[in-house]
Amino acid sequence: MEVADLKILFFDVGGILLSNGWGHEAREEAAKRFNLDYDEVNALHNFIFNVYEIGSITLDEYLDTVIFNHPRDFVREDFKDFIYSTSVELPMLQFLKEWKKDCGFRIISVNNEGKELNDYRVRKFKLHECFDAFVSSCEVKMRKPDPGIWQLAMGIAQASPQQCVYFDDRKMFVDTAQKLGIRSFQHTSLESTKKILETLKKENLKK
């Protein structure tokens, strides 16, 4: 690979820049707060959440199946507010916003997220300050680890695999991207990813 040909950075969002949008920790907390049967909720979630993430159903339809399949002593809007409130910023976000200003790369999000959560997180955390484009599962009707989502991202970027670098906190997704020829790194800490990015920036400046 010619390092000088690097053009595009692909980044996951949940687990790197923000907490996961509706991860198991948040569902456990919801079960405690709203007096839910966690095992039941989790089983139904696992059946249908992928369908939500590819945009085939709305958040309300997801909740109809997973939460409001029984009479509840709380209202839908309170539960949705709780879901949104579980999204929190991680330290990497502010670093990437600053780093992007003079990094010389285009940065594109490649993430699995349901539409309402995705839209909320983009607005709330001003993710346009990080990303030049969003390849989100809810919009493109594919989700990682489908190789097609990276192939679509490369098509949008008009870049070859050798011109891209991908970051994800999940090894399975890193491995899938690598099989497509994309140089990929597993995010494990702010410091380790910062070092990789600074190295990429120095390589890019050698052009």
Number of H helices, E strands in the chain: 10, 5
Per-residue pLDDT of the chain (207 residues; tens, 9 = 90+): 444 477 899 999 999 999 998 999 999 999 999 999 999 999 999 999 999 999 999 999 999 999 999 999 999 999 999 999 999 999 999 999 999 999 989 999 999 999 999 999 999 999 999 999 999 999 999 999 999 999 999 999 999 999 999 999 999 999 999 999 999 999 999 999 999 999 999 887 766
Residues 107 and 166: their CA atoms lie apart, in Å, by 10
Q: What topology is assigned to 22-84 in CATH? A: DNA polymerase; domain 1 (1.10.150)
Residues 135 and 122: their CA atoms lie apart, in Å, by 12
**Does the global pTM surpass 0.85?**
yes
CATH 3.40.50.1000 range(s) for the chain read 6-18+88-203
Pick the CATH number of 6-18+88-203 from 3.40.50.1000, 3.40.960.10, 3.40.47.10, 3.40.50.150: 3.40.50.1000
Residue 117 is given by DSSP the state H
CATH 1.10.150.240 range(s) for the chain read 22-84
